[in-house]
Structure 1
Amino acid sequence: MKNLIGILLILGSIKAGAQSSALTIGDSLYASGNYSKAIASYVSVVNPNSKTFLQIARAYNAKGVKGSALEYYKKSIQKENRQPIAQLEYGKLLLSQLKFYTADTVFSSLTNQYPDNPEYYYQLGRSLQLIERKNKTDSTSIASVSTIELPETAFAKAVQLDSTHQKAMYDLSKIYLAKRDYTNVEKITSKALESDPENIKMISLQAQNYYYKGWWTEAIVRFEKLISLGQSTSFIHDKLGRSYYQKRQYKKAIAQYEILLESADDDWGLHLTLSRLYAFENELEKSITSGKQALYLKDLPLDDVFFTLGRSYELKRDYKQALNYYSNALKENSNNDDARYGLAVAADNYYEDKSEVLKMYETYVNSLDKSKITPYKARLAELRIQELKRQIFVESNQ
């Protein structure tokens, strides 16, 4: 009998050793990135515990087999329901697979169990964002189980618990920017950049915040910073170009739009903008070339392109061509007041019969909406009308 007991003890010890060896080998294989063999080693364990299931889930996740990873995360948590690390990994994987209702349940549970952990609130905010988007497009969607209803609230709680949580600060800033809450965007992005001065996402949000506020100088500094950090997107070059435009730094604006044109030569808007910018820099041939390219590419209506070409020819003092393009602009859009004024100015420089010119200026002034503030051009037109009337009067008496 004693011999039998001894044999059983030895067999039990061998079995336990084999179990331990399988786990050790599995961990070693997992650590070295040999995930399939690691899974085979873990699966050979006869009575797997929550840690074994967790490692199998991690291995499946690492090799991209998301369905099996979710299955084993769930098994691990069912074995031991108080595993915050397993629950966090499980919830994040659920989010990546757009299973946001289940993720919402996981992160709601974690925030209730661990109310001082900012990461759980951040992940809950991500779940709530996806549910919010689903609700906007699907009336049959399911409500969140969380006591926190808004992603903004969850992100704000994460930031409150950790004022350096960059991801939560970024997502919270994005929400405020969408609401045009510029003050809070400025506050959060500035705080985030204190701990990570080269956070590209935060610099981008701050640049956009200044841009939409119309703080062109500040926006320029931030967009230039992004470029210095190796960022080069059409969004950055476009917004930087527009900021330069607003500050009348036309050469710098041209440089940005020429970069954009390299990858979008069929964009009539870029050609039209460059036509205007070249005109400001008195590069009139380039202005005309870009304007004609815009005219070729753009669908109707074309009055803005005709007007820009008219302006370029006017600056070139080719008043005949200017008259032609201003006239075409008015044919396209009879309410284009700028083209009507340009037509009068070109005619003033081209026609000898000033009585016809006088009529053009008067037509322009009379076409303006009297309920609006009189534009600078209208005041110039009225002065010119008075001068022409005196001139015509004198000539008629002579």
Structure 2
Amino acid sequence: MKKYFVFALFICSFKLMAQLAVADSLVQLGNYQEAMEIYKTEPKSEFKLARVYAQMGAIYEALDSYQQGFKRDSLSLQPRFEYARLALSNNDPVTAFNSFLSLSVEEPDNATYQYYMGKTHEELSNDDAAISAFAKAVSLNTSYRAARIEWVKLLIKKRRFREAILQAKPALEWYPNDIKMNSLIAQSYLGAKRYDKAIERFELLFSLGNDTEFNRKSLAWSYFNDRQWQLAIDNYERYNSDYEKADSLVHFIMSQAYLKLGELELAQDYIERAIAIKTPELDQEFLQLATVYVRQGDYKNAFYATKRAKKEKPEDDVIGYQYALAADQYYADKSKKLEFYEDFIGAYPESPYQEIATARAEDLRKELFLAAKK
């Protein structure tokens, strides 16, 4: 009798294993529904059933199946890891955090657990803890690209550009043409105002076929700040052609670049385009237009452009002083010039330009007094 019972138990076990093997094969073939029906009839299949639910996108059923499985086996690492990842993808970072924390305590040298701790900290808006977790993941596995990418992205977000550059470099030593890492180090150089290095990386990205709106605009801005005016203009022209024709800031910068090159007509053309696009505040654009007019010796139009700038932002003392200065250049009548300086002195008592405006007003009064005595 005892031998018969052992034999029957063996037969049942063999049959169970055979059914599970069939279900596992069905999963491999993508026949999730059929596999799920088998798993539901077999004991100790909660985790397998949870994985099928997850593959089908039935997240809550998957989570529930994992929880049922944990009542039987709460120690196995793989299902706990899968459960934590599923909770994180389901916008439940608190549950994910508790699971990943226990896993990382049990397996402190597991770089993947540290990586997901970092992702969870990000979801919980704890960037500093996320940075530490990603850094630890990379320290445990220096070739962990995903962890390094997330680490560098957060350093950029926190404006820790030098650290971002330092951490991006090793990945580029292994894979010099890594588009994602080149993009991140280019952004880091841009943030650190190392425009020559940013240019190198953005140009490399274009050579690798990564011609994006952000890269084109950033390359143009880098050339502008590197005082390579024509290349800045060329790239802004490409940006205008390929992406955004109605960007007032781009036209404003192009006007500045043309002014640097002495191309006064083009400088005027582009600042007028910027003015036509931008509303409602155009104070800087009108000041730029005034600067172009001054370079052309056209003090009348420079005065009226500055007047428009002051109208746009009357509380700005810098513009207020520029307005008085423009009037000084435009009007021949010294008493008229004096009126503008006196208006400025009265309107902006706290301005750092008070001293220079007062000194000029005193000079004009003396000149008027001496002229009256003659």
Deviations 1:257-307 (A, max 9, x none): 334434333332233223323333445444434323322332333221112
1:62-141 correspondence runs (5 A): 62-132=55-125
Determine whether 1:246 maps to 2:234: no
Give the CA deviation at 1:246: 0.8
Cα distance in 1 for partners of 2:121, 2:93 equals 8
197-206 or 337-346, which deviates more: 337-346
TM-score by length of 2: 0.78
Tell me how large the CA RMSD over aligned residues is.
4.1
Aligned residue pairs, count: 360
Contact 2:186 2:202 in 1 (8 A): yes
Deviation at 1:58, TM superposition (A): 2.1
Give the Cα separation in 1 of the matches to 2:323 and 2:231.
Answer: 27
The normalised TM-score by structure 1 is 0.74
Q: Which amino acid aligns with 1:27?
A: D
Question: How far apart, in 1, do the equivalents of 2:223 and 2:110 lie?
Answer: 44
Find out whether 1:197 has 2:176 as its counterpart. yes
| 8 A Cα contact 1:174 1:205, kept in partner | yes
Alignment of 1:308-347 (within 5 A): 308-315=288-295, 320-333=300-313, 335=316, 337=318
Match of residue 34 from structure 1: 31
Contact 1:323-1:347 at 8 Å conserved across structures: no
Cα distance change, pair 256–83 in 1 and its aligned pair in 2 (3 A) = farther
Query: More deviation in 308-317 or 208-217?
Result: 308-317
Which deviates more from structure 2 when the two are superposed, residues 312-321 or residues 338-347?
338-347
Report the Cα distance in structure 1 between the residues aligned to 2:132 and 2:258, rounded to whole angstroms. Answer: 48
Pairwise CA distance, 1:217: 0.6
Which of the residues 148, 152, 166 maps onto 1:169?
148
Query: What is aligned with 2:185?
Result: 206
Check 1:132–1:299 CA distance in 2 against 1; reply closer, same or farther (3 A cut). same
Q: Per-residue deviation at 1:33?
A: 2.3
Cα deviation digits, residues 11-30 of structure 1 (max 9, x gap): 65664444233222222221
CA contact (8 A) 1:53 1:73 kept: yes
Matched AA of 1:55: K
Within 1, Cα distance between the matches of 2:97 and 2:103? Answer: 10
Match of 1:185 in 2: 164
Point out where structure 1 has 5 or more consecutive residues left out of the alignment: 137-148
State which of 226, 247, 257 in structure 2 corresponds to 1:267. 247
- Is the deviation greater in 106-115 or in 61-70? 61-70
Identity fraction in percent = 29
Counterpart in the other structure of 2:54: 61
Partner residue, 1:19: 16
Report the secondary structure of 2:188's partner residue.
helix
Deviations 1:40-69 (A, max 9, x none): 23224x32x2xx333322222222222222
Q: How far apart are the structure 2 equivalents of 1:34 and 1:243?
A: 53
Shift of 1:120: 0.9
Q: Which amino acid in 1 is paired with 2:115?
A: Y
Which position in structure 2 is the counterpart of 1:369?
Answer: 352
**Contact 2:32 / 2:56 at 8 angstroms: preserved in 1?**
yes
Which amino acid in 2 is paired with 1:82?
L
Sort the Cα spacing of 1:228 and 1:361 in 2 relative to 1 into closer, same or farther, 3 A.
farther
The alpha-carbon deviation at position 204 of structure 1 amounts to: 2.7
